[in-house]
Amino acid sequence: MDLSKLTNRYHVRLLDRTDIETILSLCRKNSLYYQFCPPAASEQTIIHDMEALPPNKDLSDKYYFGFFEDDSLIAVMDLIAAFPDEKTAFIGFFMTDTSVQNRGIGSKIIEELCSFLRTTGFSRVRLGWVKGNPQAQHFWHKCGFAETGVSYDTGAYTVIVAQRAI
Ligand SMILES: CC(C)(COP(=O)(O)OP(=O)(O)OC[C@H]1O[C@@H](n2cnc3c(N)ncnc32)[C@H](O)[C@@H]1OP(=O)(O)O)[C@@H](O)C(=O)NCCC(=O)NCCS
């Protein structure tokens, strides 16, 4: 996928280990998220997220990337193409910088992402949020995602699986 076509409002690029400090500083401000989804962000958890893959997927379908306004990182996304099936894209993680939150920026990015994924050939987007996280639940409902009825228990928290046709 050519991520540069996702939006013309931000510079979008894959993130790597040289970006860890910047990613960490964005994540650490989002304390509510980590209350529901421990452990707290650290260099190790960011490296883990950069490399994490669902079953039977390889790195060719993994996009861990950032949205930059000028040189500032304003959002991070982890996207897996064609998971759990060929027509579905899976958002593993999406977070905006607290300095830009509640201004419609996150939902606009998701709209642009869904349009981009539709033109790329996908029919739906799937994701999960931690049960009880009011911010995540409100945000994904606002973006048109609905619960699939599937949830799973990680031991530390329960994940609600949601999906949207695009
Ligand atoms: C969820 C998140 C991506 C939204 O980004 P954003 O740029 O603020 O998005 P928007 O401004 O488009 O929408 C935010 C919505 O969440 C609502 N919201 C914010 N904090 C909330 C809270 N504590 N409880 C309930 N709703 C909340 C806002 O009121 C707004 O909804 P509204 O427009 O209906 O009023 C951002 O808050 C974030 O990064 N949170 C931490 C990570 C996370 O939870 N990611 C999603 C799960 S992977």
Domain boundaries, the chain: 3-125
Position 64 scores a pLDDT of 98
Determine what percent of the chain is predicted with pLDDT higher than 90.
100
| pTM, full prediction | 0.97
Cα 135 to middle of ligand 1, angstroms:
5
pLDDT interval class at 128 (50, 70, 90): very high
Strand blocks (E) in the chain? 11-14, 62-69, 72-80, 88-96, 124-130, 146-153, 158-165
Output b/e per residue, 96-119; b: 16+ Cβ within 10 A: bbeeebeeebbeebbebbbebbee
- Mean pLDDT along residues 104-130: 98
Which residue's alpha carbon is nearest to atom 34 within ligand 1? 142
Which residue's alpha carbon is nearest to atom 23 within ligand 1? 135
DSSP letter for 58, please.
-
Pocket of ligand 1 (CB under 6 A): 30, 33, 93-96, 100-107, 129, 134-136, 138-139, 142
Distance, CA of 156 to CA of 152 (rounded, Å)? 11
Architecture of the CATH domain 3-125? 3-Layer(aba) Sandwich (3.40)
Distance, CA of 90 to CA of 93 (rounded, Å)? 9
Structure confidence by residue, pLDDT tens digits, 55-114: 999 999 999 999 999 999 999 999 999 999 999 999 999 999 999 999 999 999 999 999
Position 10 scores a pLDDT of 97
Cα 142 to middle of ligand 1, angstroms:
9
Q: Are 40 and 29 in contact (CB under 8 A)?
A: no
pLDDT interval class at 144 (50, 70, 90): very high
